[in-house]
Amino acid sequence: METIKLDAVKRHFQEGEYVVRAVNGVDLILQKGDFAALAGPSGSGKTTLLNLIGGLDRPDEGEIFIDNEATGNKGDDAMTEIRLRKIGFVFQAYNLIPVLTAYENIQFVLQIQGVPEREHRDSIMPILETLGLDELCNRFPTQLSGGQQQRVAVARAVVGHPSIVLADEPTANLDSETSKNLLDMMRKLNEKNDVTFLFSTHDPLVIERAQRVIRMLDGQVTSDERKN
């Protein structure tokens, strides 16, 4: 079942006299349950493509479908709602709220979704247990290591049952062992909860563990390999 579909998507930027074709006619389908890496060197267009899928930016041409719903004609309020309900984000810098505990950072998503508070714990604790964070749930971000903060960010991204989780260079600030553990835990969430993951990365560890590798260069998809 399709989660995301891109149809001839383009995004260009003007830099002085030059036009940068950051995303230049991309066709792509992500299936439910994909665990995919969007790979390529810096400047290949992968972060721009991730931002387009997540509705943080809009294409100049083409159309993006989320759960078979076209997003090109959506206003800002409608796109905010789509991001809230259907897209989870994991950023390089974690973006946790410093005055909230790990549990409260995750709970915040359920609060703005309007989920009744009596249901919060049953939604949050199984994810924290999968990510090995159940004993750290009352700590503030400053009391957690970088790897632990990134795991909290992953838990926050998946707790609202999104259609897809977009992760921009999720291992960029982590050592190799922490990166491996994080990726293994995300894979567990992918298999257990059937969550679709798309990583923007040039980290060989991420590419090695991805079940599908989509390579980009100069704003275009150059290969799309699904591993057995």
Q: Which domains does the chain have, with CATH numbers?
A: 31-61+76-226 (3.40.50.300)
How do strand 61-66 and strand 35-39 relate by DSSP bridges? unpaired
- Beta carbons within 8 Å of 17's beta carbon, 6+ residues apart: none
> What are the phi and psi torsion angles at 4 (to 5°)?
-130, 135
pLDDT digits 0-9 by tens, 140-156 = 999 999 889 989 999 99
Give the mean pLDDT of the chain.
Answer: 92
Q: What is the DSSP letter of 161?
A: -
Give percent of the chain with pLDDT exceeding 70.
Answer: 100
Query: What's the confidence (pLDDT) of residue 53?
Result: 95
Query: What's the confidence (pLDDT) of residue 96?
Result: 93
User: Which residue, among 208, 227, 171, 174, has the nearest Cα to 34 in the 3D structure?
Assistant: 227
> What are the phi and psi torsion angles at 108 (to 5°)?
-55, -40
80-105 in b/e burial notation, b at 16+ Cβ within 10 A?
eebbeebbbbbbbebebeeeebbbbb
Query: What's the confidence (pLDDT) of residue 112?
Result: 93
CA 118 from centroid of its chain's CA atoms: 27
The pLDDT-based confidence of 86 (bands split at 50, 70, 90) is very high
